[in-house]
Amino acid sequence: MPQIANTEPRNGTSHYPRVSLYALLLAATGIPLYIHLPQFAAINLGIGLGTIGTILLVIRVIDLAQDPLIGWAIDRWPRLQSTFAMAAVAGLAVGFPLLFSLSPGPDVVAQLVAALVLLFAAYSLGTILLYGRSATLAERPEPQALLTLAAYREGGMLAGVILAAMAPAVLLALGASGQGYPAFGLLLGGLAILTAAFSFSIWQRPVVLGETFSLAGLANAGALRILVLALVNSLPVAITSTLFLFFVEDRLLLPGRAGALLTLFFLSAGLSVPIWTRVSQRIGAKTTLMISMPLAILGFAGAAFLSPGDYLGFAIICVAAGAALGSDTILLPAMFSVALTRAGLKASLAFGIWAFAGKLGLALAAFIVMPLLQWNGFQPGQINSAQALNTLNIAYAVIPCVLKLAALGMVVTLPSGDNL
C-alpha cells in the first residue's frame, strides 16, 4: 500500500489553480519545442530538414537515459521535490531566451543542440515531477480525485498550448522581429519566473510514496499496456504537430493563418476536457476513448482531401481533432496514474518512462517524416512540386490515420477493469 512520507493535513482542492499554472508553463514551453522549432530552425537559422530531424532524434537518445533517471531521482529524494520543481523552471527561464536569440552561423547547429539539451532536460524534469506526484497533488490518492486533478492539470496544459500557439503571430503583428521568435523567448522566460513565484507552495505538500518500481509490477498493475498504448497513440499527434505549419502554409496555401488554426485546435481540446471528464465518470475511460478516437480518425482522413485555400474545411477538422485530443490528454495519463496508485508503485520513475515514450513518438515522427519530405523535394516556404506536396499530404493525413486506427484497436483489447 502507498506510504505517506509526511502526515501533515492535506488542504483540499484550493491549490489546484497553482497546479494548472505549473502545467500551463510546461505546455507553453513544450509547444515551441515540438511545433515551432522545425520552422524556426529551417527558416530563421537555415538548417536543413534532414539535419533538424537528426538533431531531434539525438535529443531523444539523450532522453532515453535522462527521463527514467530523472524519475528515479525524484523517487529517491522525495523531500527535494520543491528543489526539482524550481530547477525545472530555472532551466526554462534561461533556455528559451537563449534558443530564440540564435542566428545563422558556422556554429549554429552546436549552439542549437546545447540550448535544446538544457530545455529538454528542464521540460522533462518539470513534466515527470508534475505527473509523478499526482497522488501527492490530488486531494486524496483515489481514482476520482486523481481524475479531478488530471482535469485541472490538463486544462492548464491546454491553456498553455493556446498561449504558445498564439504568441509568435501576435508578437509579429505587434512589430517583433525574426518571425516574433526572439520576443517569444523572452515572454516564455518571464512566464517561467512568474510560475516559480506563484506555484512554489504546491511542492510543500506531504509526499505520497509507493513501493519500489519494477517492470513486473508495472505489468501486473496493467500499466504496461497503457504505456504501450500511449506510445502508439502519440505517433499520429507527433506527426501532425511536426508538420502542422508546413501543411497549413505550403499544402493549403494559407500563409498567416496557422496561428489562428492552431489556437482553434487547442481551444477545442481545452473546452472538451470537462466534457470528456464527465463522460468518463459516467461510462468509463475505455468506452470514452472508443468514442473520441474515431473522431480523430475522421479528422485525419478529411484533411487528406482538402483543396488549397480551404480554410473553413480545415477549421472544422481542427475542431474535431482538437476535441479528440482533449480525451487522450486527460484519460491516458489518468488511467496510468490510477493503475500505479492501485498497485502502490512509486510513480515518478514510471512517468519518466512515460515521458520518454511520448518523446520517442515525437522523435520517430521527426526522424521519419522530415527526411522523407526532403528526399521528395519539399522546401518550406517555397514553390513545391506536386510530388513534394503529395508526400506532405500523405505524411500529415494518411499515415496518422493508420496509426490512430492501430491505437483504437489496442483500446478495444483493454480489459474493462482498466476503466476509471
The Cα 300–Cα 313 span in angstroms is 12
Band (pLDDT 50/70/90 cuts) for residue 5 is very low
In which element (H, E) is residue 209 found?
A: strand 208-209
pLDDT, tens digit, for every residue of 7-44? 344 445 678 889 999 999 998 988 787 778 887 888 88
pLDDT, tens digit, for every residue of 355-391? 777 777 777 777 778 888 888 888 877 888 889 999 9
Give the three cell numbers for residue 101.
536569440
Band (pLDDT 50/70/90 cuts) for residue 343 is low
| pLDDT score recorded for residue 324 | 92
The Cα 296–Cα 128 span in angstroms is 26
HSE-up of residue 280 (Cα within 13 Å, Cβ side): 30
Percent of the chain exceeding pLDDT 90 equals 32
Pair 324, 265: CB distance under 8 Å: no
Instruction: Label residue 174 exposed, middle or buried (CB < 10 Å: 0-12, 13-18, 19+).
Output: exposed
Q: What is the mean pLDDT of the chain?
A: 84
Band (pLDDT 50/70/90 cuts) for residue 196 is very high
Pair 135, 73: CB distance under 8 Å: no
Pair 276, 332: CB distance under 8 Å: no
Band (pLDDT 50/70/90 cuts) for residue 211 is low
Q: State the amino acid at position 45 in one-letter form.
A: L
Domain 15-418 in CATH 3.20.20.370? The answer is no
- Dihedral of CA atoms 126, 122, 197, 156 in degrees, nearest 10, equals -50
